[in-house]
Amino acid sequence: MSPHDHDVRRAVALRDLAERRVRRITVAAIAGATALTGVFAGLAAASTHHAKRGVRHDSPRSVTAPTPTLVPNGNEQQAAPPQPQVQPPAVAPPSLPPVVSSGGS
Amino acid sequence: MTTAHSFPALGTTALVATTSSDALGDARRILESELSELDLACSRFRPDSELVRANARAGEPVEVSALLATAVEAALDAARTTRGIVDPTLGADLRALGYDRTFALVRTRDRWTFEPRRRRSAAWQEVEVDSERLLLRVPTGCELDLGATAKAFGADRAAGRIAAETGTGVLVSLGGDVAVAGAPPPTGWSIEIADHHAAPFGSGPRVTIRSGGLATSSTTARRWRTDRGEAHHLLDPRTGRPAATPWRTVSVAAETCLAANVASTAAIVLGDGAATWLAERGLPSRLVSEDGSVVRVGGWPLEAEAA
């Protein structure tokens, strides 16, 4: 065997070794990607299923009017309903006797 | 020149005044007729009243008159607009507190042993009224009490009917809940503001109104003794007990006497938040605190205090 033949055989061996490494890495990558796809698909499925179940369970309750809570003292967040403009009372002239008293009864 | 006539009714004082003296007789007859019908429909103390019958048959639909159906609708509307602060389902709570008969009889009783009861929240939402078929269903375990709205409702109805039938300008007052209708006197209707509607003139400021209504709610009226201290008739629906409030008297002017009375009652119950609540609704109001200091909102005139 000439030195040239030896070099060729060595190069072929190195090439075959590299090919095997690439194949192993490719197989591992495909396996990992498949596993991750499964995991994410499972998570997505579970998430969708949960939401649907929630809607089904909630829908009968949504028919019933919620019990409104009373307005706590000093609650500033409650929106006031629109009111027609009310004419404020005026000061009665001193000479005008009252017709009636408005007071507690 | 206005003329007036007053007489006892609904456990308080009714008064009718007209701009035309010729119309006063008819106005009085109309008012008496209206109050007689209202009492028979809405009284919590008359055994023959429709309300007593509906309360006794709570849980089942009961045939009622158009008047009671309308009065209950007005009370439920008050509950809706105040988000339950003015609640028509406080009848059993008032009874538990000792207000179980006309107030003249409650006042003469020495003392009442108060038995607290568990209160259902927002039961007014379960009241069913069908104004077309004239059916009313009071929720099981509840008693309707229309005391917070019926007088003002009646004052509006009577004033409107008197003005329509006689063509006169009219003022109707039921225990200080005032409704006016028709053309007012040139100077407006003069009304004195007081803690109690039967107080002698001269004890409070005077204002005039030309339309709508003016109502006053006060914790100083209708007070009685229980074994747990003095009670008053303005209950807080959150507790079923007399409202603990910094205000002793609140007067409100509004488009109708009913709207004014609902707002003045709500203000007493709301307590510290009342002035803001009234101002947000643009309702001219005068609030008197327990120490006598006065808060005015919504354009209530300052100068009125000098009168």
For the stretch B192-208, pLDDT in tens is 999 988 888 887 999 99
- A77 to chain B, any CB pair closer than 8 A? The answer is no
Residue positions counted in chain A? 105
Q: Could you tell me the pTM of the whole model?
A: 0.77
- ipTM value, please give it: 0.84
Low-confidence ranges of chain B (pLDDT < 50): 304, 306-307
Q: How far apart are CA B122 and CA B42, in angstroms?
A: 21
User: pLDDT at position A3, please?
Assistant: 64
pLDDT: is A86 or B169 the higher one? B169
Are A87 and B212 an interchain contact pair (Cβ–Cβ within 8 Å)?
yes
pLDDT reading at A58 higher than 70? no
B222 vs A100, higher pLDDT? A100
pLDDT above 90 covers a percentage of chain A that reads 12
Which pLDDT belongs to residue A54? Answer: 32
| Angstrom distance (rounded) from CA B299 to CA B297 | 6
Which pLDDT value is given to residue B100? Answer: 80
Residue A66: its chain B contacts at CB < 8 A? none
Rounded CA Rg of chain A? 42
Instruction: Judge whether B122 is closer than 8 Å to chain A, CB to CB.
Output: yes
- The answer to whether residue A95 scores a pLDDT higher than 70 is yes
Measure CB to CB from residue B85 to each of A71, A92, A97 and give the nearest one.
A71
Instruction: State which residue of chain B sits closest to A77, comparing Cα positions.
Output: B277
> What one-character-per-residue DSSP string does B131-158 give?
TTTTEEEPPTT-----TTTHHHHHHHHH
Query: In this complex, is the C-beta atom of B209 within 8 Å of any C-beta atom belonging to chain A?
Result: yes
Predicted confidence (pLDDT) at residue A76 exceeds the cutoff of 50: no
Chain B residues within 8 A of A95 when measuring between CB atoms: none
Distance CA B198, CA B190 (A): 16
Q: What is the reported pLDDT for A71?
A: 37
A63: pLDDT confidence band, cut at 50, 70 and 90? very low
Rounded distance, CA B273 to CA B283, Å? 14
A65-70 contacts, C-beta under 8 A, 24 or more apart = A65/B125, A67/B121, A67/B122, A67/B125, A68/B83, A68/B84, A68/B122, A68/B125, A69/B83, A70/B83, A70/B84, A70/B85, A70/B237, A70/B238
Beta bridge partners of B6: B15
Contact partners, residue B133, CB within 8 Å, separation at least 6: none
User: In 10 A of CB A63, how many CB atoms?
Assistant: 6
pLDDT digits (tens, 9 = 90+) for B205-253: 999 999 999 999 999 887 778 777 788 788 889 888 888 899 999 999 9
